[in-house]
Structure 1
Amino acid sequence: MLKAVVFDMDDTLLSINLSAFIAVFARDEAALLADIARKSPLSMFATFGAALYALNNGERNDDDTNLAFFQKQIERRCGVPLCDPVIADVLTYYEREILPGKNDGIINARPREGAREAIDAVASRGLRCALLTNPSFSRACIECRMGWGDMLDMPFELVTTMENSTRCKPTADYYLASIAKMGLEPQEVLMVGNDPRRDFPSPDCGIQTAYVGNGTPVRATWAGSMAKFADSFNEIEERFYERREQAAAANAHASNV
């Protein structure tokens, strides 16, 4: 049976110009690291971006947390040890005290229409809830955006971050490890997201996705706006169980061939 609904954050529960946010975040953190290391801000920005790309491209065979992997990437590329307590404190201070004030008219972060109603609809049915946002940012940075989206009081059992994850979206390993932390199986979980590249596990691992972005991906169990999600939840549940039965029948047929 359906036991949990897990949500993406950016442009799912939170309306945001994500590209602008990443640009500001990377620029500011690179500038801080450049000051610390007495290096060119431009070269440090390039280093920071390359490390983020390496974190997200999925070509890894280690068991490091995303934070440890990113720290090693930065140190290997420019010699700055992000794990040094003084440097770590500087970045954490920026993310907790300075970054929340960076929400301007370009980033324009705000609660997505229908987001709270969606969480309430899930909770009212006794279903469990988690925030499976791409864990390429620290807990402090993710909580900053959660604050912009009025999500800090939402009943998430798990929020995926750099510190507690070892892979990023869309790898199936990320999704399976995340729901395993909740003691769940793929067939018991519905993912809600807006990104056709990242919010459908790759390869398919049995987790269904309700899609709240543009278009109607073939793999989507349901597609519509976040604003319509709560009112459509009975239909979404019906489609969830229909898809699960179809998958079970297909698996049974394959086993008998």
Structure 2
Amino acid sequence: MLKAVAFDMDDTLLSINLSAFIAVFLRDEARLLADISRKNPLSAFAGLVGVLRDLSSNVRDADDARTNRAFFDEEIERRMGIPLTDPVIADAFEFFEREVLPHCNDPVIGARPRAGAHQAVELLLERGMRIALLTNPSFSRSCIECRMAWGDMLDMPFELVTCMENSTRCKPSPRYYLEAIGALGLEPEEVLMVGNDPKRDFPVPDCGIQTAYVGIGSPDRALWSGSMEAFAAQFGLIEERFNERHERGFSKLAQDVSRARNPFQN
């Protein structure tokens, strides 16, 4: 039965122009890399983008158990010759992400709490649900906490916040989801994932985690689809459907959902 709810962050609990944020982040971190290595900024930008692309695409051997942080650091050093683990260099990036990046939330990025997000979290806590923040761990903890602050989430009692430092894969790898759920001491069938990205917030291949979808459209795999405000208002119905799926068997219900729309969808 349902014991915990895991939330995605960007455009789930946090309204944000994510493309604009990533553009600013990459530009400024590439400048740091270029200054440190005395390389052309365009070359540093290309190198950074290449490493992050491979990280996000899970271009790893199956037996590679390195954290995303270790993978990122080692690939930057291998490709660009910059030892990010050097204390002086590490401090420079930490300073940027802790002290400079938080001031980059301009009108274009427009980061703010998503309507209904705080109500949803408060409701779950009142109902005794455990909560976690399963944001894609292609960023450091410092960078993730920057965006959490923009969404007024730093005081939310998440039992786990995934990030580069505590994850070995990125979404939608089932290994990422199973490692996070395992860290909570739970089984996949006890957790509801809430997210807005049909390509990342549903594990591929499926590993038994049900997902409530708060993005555009209504994916067939979704337990429920609607806005975050509707999620808060209809959580009782969502929990009932979650437990119904659990009782009937997730694999059978996946076939049912492909043949009929969710009766609770908005």
Query: Is TM-score (shorter-chain normalized) higher than 0.5?
Result: yes
Aligned partner of 2:264 in structure 1 is none
Q: Deviations over 1:80-114 (max 9, x none)?
A: 11111111000000000000000001111000000
Question: What letter is aligned with 2:36?
Answer: I
Q: For the residues of structure 2 that align with 1:122 and 1:208, how far apart are their CA atoms?
A: 17
Which residue pairs with 1:25 in the alignment? 25
Matches within 5 A, 1:98-247: 98-247=100-249
- In the aligned structure 1, how far is the partner of 2:169 from the partner of 2:250? 28
Q: Distance in 2 between matches of 1:184 and 1:83?
A: 33
User: Equivalents in 1 of 2:5, 2:225: separation in Å?
Assistant: 15
Distance 1:95 1:131, change over 3 A: same
Q: CA deviation at 1:248?
A: 5.7
Please give the secondary structure, in 1, of the residue aligned with 2:166.
Answer: coil
**Per-residue displacement from partner, 1:193-241 (whole Å, max 9, x unpaired)?**
0000000011100000000000000000010001111110011011101
- Where 2:164 maps in the other structure, the secondary structure is coil
For the Cα contact (< 8 Å) 2:188–2:209, is it kept in 1? Answer: yes
The residue aligned with 1:12 is 12
Distance 1:248 1:159, change over 3 A: closer
* Mean Cα deviation higher: 223-232 or 242-251: 242-251
Q: Structure 1 residues 190 and 248 mapped into 2: Cα distance closer, same or farther (>3 Å)?
A: closer
2:258 aligned partner: none
Give unmatched runs, 5+ long, in structure 1: 252-257
Structure 2 residue aligned with 1:39: 39
CA distance in 1, matches of 2:205, 2:120: 27
Q: Name the SS of the counterpart of 1:220 in structure 2.
A: coil
Identity level (%): 67
- The alpha-carbon deviation at position 245 of structure 1 amounts to 2.4
TM-score, normalising length from structure 2? 0.92
Mapped contact 2:18–2:109 kept (Cα < 8 A): yes
Measured in 1, the distance between the counterparts of 2:11 and 2:92 equals 29
CA RMSD of aligned residues (A): 1.1
Please name the residue that 1:70 is paired with: 72
Instruction: Check 1:107–1:249 CA distance in 2 against 1; reply closer, same or farther (3 A cut).
Output: closer
Mapped to 2, the partners of 1:249 and 1:26 lie a distance apart of 40
Following the alignment from structure 2 to structure 1, what is the Cα–Cα distance between the partners of residues 249 and 49? 40
Which runs of 5 or more residues in structure 2 are unaligned?
A: 254-266
Q: Which amino acid aligns with 1:161?
A: C
Secondary structure at the residue paired with 2:5?
A: strand
Look up the match of 1:53.
53
Indicate how the Cα distance of structure 1 residues 248 and 114 shifts in structure 2: closer, same or farther if over 3 A, else same.
Answer: closer
SS of residue paired to 1:191: strand
Q: Contact conserved, 2:208 with 2:250, CA < 8 A, in 1?
A: no
**Aligned length in residues:** 251
**Would you say the 8 A contact 2:211–2:223 is kept in 1?**
yes
- CA–CA distance in 1 between the matches of 2:74 and 2:251? 46
